[in-house]
Amino acid sequence: MLNFKILCISFLLLSSFLLSILLLDFYLTPVFAKQSGINSTVNDPFGIKKIYPTKPGGREWFMNMADPQNDPNVDFTFDPHLIKQNDSSWKLDKNHKIRINIQTPKNLPPWKNVEITGYVKIDSFLNSTHGNSINSTSKNGITDIDWVSRTSIHNEYLPCSGLSLHGGIYPDGTVAWKKEIWFTGGYTKEKSIPQITKPLIGRWIGWKVIVYNVDNDSAVKMESYLDSSNSNYWVKVFQMTDNGNWTANSSDKIFYSANCGRSKDHIILYPGPIVTFRADNVVLNFKDFSIREIAVPS
């Protein structure tokens, strides 16, 4: 009888132990999966959702969050003053603008079909009317968050190098695209849509722009995505295709003065050695910037 009681007690203890393991696995596995089980086909190393998969063998760049300026492929324009924040983000203080230029290393192909991602928070405005348009200006310029692709050096002595596509979002929640055929007299009018989210000041948002060729490399598609709730929930907010007739806004005399050999409706079909994260006239917090070469959707 005693042996039978011992056997029953042992059985109950073993059952309880096994049940505890099962419950522990049930409750903890999803947590660990969320924190460290990043699916590289769905999320990038920061855990941010990809819209399009990375091109097989394609280039990828991810910000050095420990020290963004400690990266041989990154050039910061305007000598920014960056301050590390308690949430591991970085704050641009004092400067009224920033350009974070991601260069193409030697012997590698330049950036072409790309998905460009980053999270930002505007603390306040600096020296600006903070208009809602890429063409809204004051004596100190525009106010915007702008990811720039298919571009190169912007220099008054090399005007034709300023070729680029600008995917921007503005403090009132307006979004737009702009084309730059040369720097500075080759800008188009922006293609924009009305306010799609509440004003940006004081809150984190995610901003993605995607650029890729379509129609047998005869046109360029541009897409904009917003994570308005800072929750990794992305919504496409704007898209457009440049297949011609998106022309520079300057007069013929000004436009052709640069002698770039381009038409006023030039389509930017070719890659560029630089991708730029830029902002103007804001006290900006930023984190988790990335660029990926994408597999072009069929």
In this predicted model, what pLDDT tens digit does every residue of 168-214 receive, in sequence order? Answer: 999 999 999 999 999 999 999 999 998 999 999 999 999 999 999 99
Asked if residue 171 is part of any domain, the answer here is yes
Domain that holds residue 19: 1-37
Asked if residue 271 is part of any domain, the answer here is yes
Which residues, including other chains, have CB under 8 Å from residue 262's CB and lie 6 or more apart? 160, 181, 182, 186
CATH code at position 281:
2.60.120.560
| 168 and 27 assigned to the same domain | no
Residue for token pair 């006239």: 281
| 28 and 95 assigned to the same domain | no
Predicted pLDDT of residue 24: 31
| 17 and 87 assigned to the same domain | no
| 124 and 30 assigned to the same domain | no
| 19 and 54 assigned to the same domain | no
| 28 and 83 assigned to the same domain | no
| 30 and 174 assigned to the same domain | no
Asked if residue 172 is part of any domain, the answer here is yes
| Token pair for 183 | 């720097």
| 17 and 98 assigned to the same domain | no
Asked if residue 181 is part of any domain, the answer here is yes
| 19 and 159 assigned to the same domain | no
Using one digit for the tens of pLDDT, what is the confidence trace for 208-246?
A: 999 999 999 999 999 999 999 999 999 999 999 999 999
Residue 73, SS3 per DSSP: coil
| 19 and 84 assigned to the same domain | no
Residue 274, SS3 per DSSP: strand
Asked if residue 125 is part of any domain, the answer here is yes
Q: What CA–CA distance (Å, rounded) separates 138 from 204? A: 25
Contact 56, 40 (CB under 8 A): no
Domain tally for the chain? 2
Asked if residue 261 is part of any domain, the answer here is yes
Using one digit for the tens of pLDDT, what is the confidence trace for 68-84?
A: 999 999 999 988 889 99
Asked if residue 298 is part of any domain, the answer here is no
Asked if residue 158 is part of any domain, the answer here is yes
| 46 and 32 assigned to the same domain | no
Residue for token pair 């995505």: 225
28-51 exposure pattern, b = at least 16 Cβ within 10 A, e = fewer:
eeeeeeeeeeeeeeeebebebbbe
- Cβ neighbourhood burial of 1 (10 Å; 0-12, 13-18, 19+): exposed
Arithmetic mean of pLDDT, 89-105: 89
Instruction: Give the mean pLDDT of the chain.
Output: 85
- Lowest-pLDDT range of 28-32, 115-119, 127-131: 28-32
| 115 and 237 assigned to the same domain | yes
Q: What CA–CA distance (Å, rounded) separates 296 from 298? A: 6
Q: Which amino acid is at 139?
A: K
